[in-house]
């Protein structure tokens, strides 16, 4: 094997050196994602001249920011062997709370943001504690959260949009500002993704995260404190979901209990699975997840530009999720349920 040092340890690399150099560094899973993305871009680019324009590309990038943030943290949770399907509801609750705190603090944007992040920490600790100490299956625990946090958001807001924030410069900056030609929201996604990528790939924390998802028993026997890591993963997910909620508020101008956040859990899990995360844990990476986010965003935008009924987009997303997992199971050589060995 002639792997160069740059690609060593990249989790999504199936077998280093298979395609040599740069290709191997990207990985098999990512190659197929890039191919799929190229096909989608080419297809809609041919159908519509404006689709590949710089303006539309930025529209796509902005549209996927919130999904992207949640997909990045979902990736961490899934690598740990968990799952968080309450991230959408968390973002909705954070959105409402940020707008309401902003208003009641007399138009103080920092109060709004701090309240949202605070709610995120509380929700993350709650999710983590229920899963770790209550020994509840993560899917069930966060399914409960999906319903409960949405309910809380609707209760505190009476089910209606709250406050108006676009009279404040900070929120305006978040929603419309630009740094070096790129929208601020996109920068936030870039910073979060790079930070999580570095955490997973270059620190001992990241190694332990992969170890926990890959073989929890072995991780425990290697002295890793599983509970601490799992709770931290859910807190990270919830805090980033809260940031996503704040961005949602900034984008729409007011706190939204449900609209805009509903369905984000599906998108984030789809992106992570499509990006190469093994749903039983231990495998995946930020690179693949971001590519999958881009693919989903390009597809959604393309369908919209073509004027295709948005209900079809849900069908497309659901199908993609199933296809991604089926491909993954085939690759890992998983034995089919019920077939004798």
Binding site for another protein (CB under 8 A): 1, 3, 5, 8-9, 15-16, 202-205, 207-208, 210-211, 214-215, 217-218, 220-225, 282-283, 332, 334-335, 337, 340-341
Question: In a 3-state reduction of DSSP, which class is residue 296?
Answer: helix
Distance of CA 240 to the CA centre of its chain: 9
What minimum distance in Å lies between the beta carbon of 340 and another protein?
A: 7
Nearer to another protein by Cβ, of 109 and 213: the residue is 213
Residue closer to another protein, measured from CB, 6 or 47: 6
**Is residue 195 a contact partner of residue 290, using CB atoms and an 8 Å limit?**
no
Q: Where is 178: in which H helix or E strand?
A: strand 178-179
- Of 202 and 312, which CB lies nearer to another protein in the complex structure? 202
Query: C-alpha angle 41/240/87, rounded to 5°?
Result: 80
CB-wise, 11 or 82, nearer to another protein?
A: 11
Task: Return the number of the residue (181 or 223) whose C-beta is nearest another protein.
Answer: 223
Q: Compute the C-alpha angle 124/254/147, nearest 5°.
A: 40
Q: How far is the CB of 5 from another protein (least distance, A)?
A: 8
**239 token code pair:** 């805090």
Nearest-approach distance from CB 79 to another protein, in angstroms: 12
Nearer to another protein, 223 or 307 (CB): 223
Q: Are 300 and 289 contacting, i.e. CB atoms less than 8 angstroms apart?
A: no
List the one residue out of 37, 146, 21 whose CA is nearest residue 83: 146
Residue 224 · residue 212 · CB < 8 Å: yes
**Shortest distance, CB of residue 160 to another protein, whole angstroms?**
45
Q: How far is the CB of 331 from another protein (least distance, A)?
A: 11
If the CB atoms of residues 330 and 335 are measured against another protein, the closer one turns out to be 335
> Measured from the CB of residue 158, what is the shortest distance to another protein in angstroms?
44
Q: Is the separation of the CB atoms in 291 and 32 below 8 Å?
A: no
Q: What is the 3-state secondary structure (H, E, C) of 257-301?
A: CCCCCCCHHHHHHHHHHHCCCCCCCCCCCHHHHHHHHHHHHHHHH
Strand partners, 182: 179
Backbone angles phi, psi at 63, to 5 degrees: -65, -30
The distance of closest approach from Cβ of residue 243 to another protein in the complex, given in angstroms and rounded to an integer, is 22
| Cβ atoms < 10 Å from Cβ of 198 | 12
> What is the nearest approach in angstroms of another protein to the Cβ of residue 187?
24
Our CB check for another protein shows the closer of 24 and 93 to be 24
Helix (H), strand (E) at residue 182 = strand 182-183
């Amino acid at each position: 094997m002639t792997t160069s040092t740059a690609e060593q340890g990249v989790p999504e690399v199936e077998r280093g050196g298979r395609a040599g150099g740069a290709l191997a560094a990207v990985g098999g899973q990512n190659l197929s994602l890039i191919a799929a993305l190229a096909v989608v871009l080419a297809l809609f680019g041919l159908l519509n001249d404006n689709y590949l324009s710089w303006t539309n590309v930025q529209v796509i990038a902005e549209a996927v920011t919130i999904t992207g943030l949640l997909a990045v943290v979902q990736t961490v949770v899934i690598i740990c062997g968990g799952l968080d399907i309450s991230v959408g509801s968390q973002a909705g609750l954070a959105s409402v709370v940020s707008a309401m705190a902003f208003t009641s603090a007399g138009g103080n944007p920092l109060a709004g943001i701090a309240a949202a992040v605070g709610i995120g920490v509380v929700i993350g600790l709650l999710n983590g504690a229920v899963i770790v100490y209550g020994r509840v299956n993560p899917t069930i625990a966060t399914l409960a959260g999906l319903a409960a946090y949405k309910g809380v958001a609707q209760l505190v807001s009476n089910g209606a949009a709250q406050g108006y924030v676009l009279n404040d410069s900070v929120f305006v900056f978040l929603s419309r500002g630009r740094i070096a030609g790129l929208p601020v929201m996109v920068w936030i996604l870039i910073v979060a993704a790079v930070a999580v990528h570095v955490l997973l790939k270059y620190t001992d924390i990241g190694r332990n995260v992969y170890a926990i998802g890959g073989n929890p028993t072995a991780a425990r026997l290697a002295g890793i404190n599983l509970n601490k890591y799992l709770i931290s993963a859910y807190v990270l997910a919830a805090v980033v979901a809260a940031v996503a909620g704040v961005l949602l508020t900034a984008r729409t101008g007011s706190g939204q209990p449900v609209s805009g956040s509903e369905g984000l859990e599906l998108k984030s899990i789809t992106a992570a699975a499509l990006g190469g995360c093994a749903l039983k844990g231990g495998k995946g990476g930020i690179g693949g997840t971001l590519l999958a986010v881009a693919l989903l965003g390009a597809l959604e935008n393309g369908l919209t530009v073509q004027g295709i009924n948005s209900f079809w987009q849900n069908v497309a997303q659901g199908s993609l999720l199933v296809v991604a997992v089926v491909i993954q199971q085939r690759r890992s050589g998983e034995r089919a349920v019920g077939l004798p060995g």
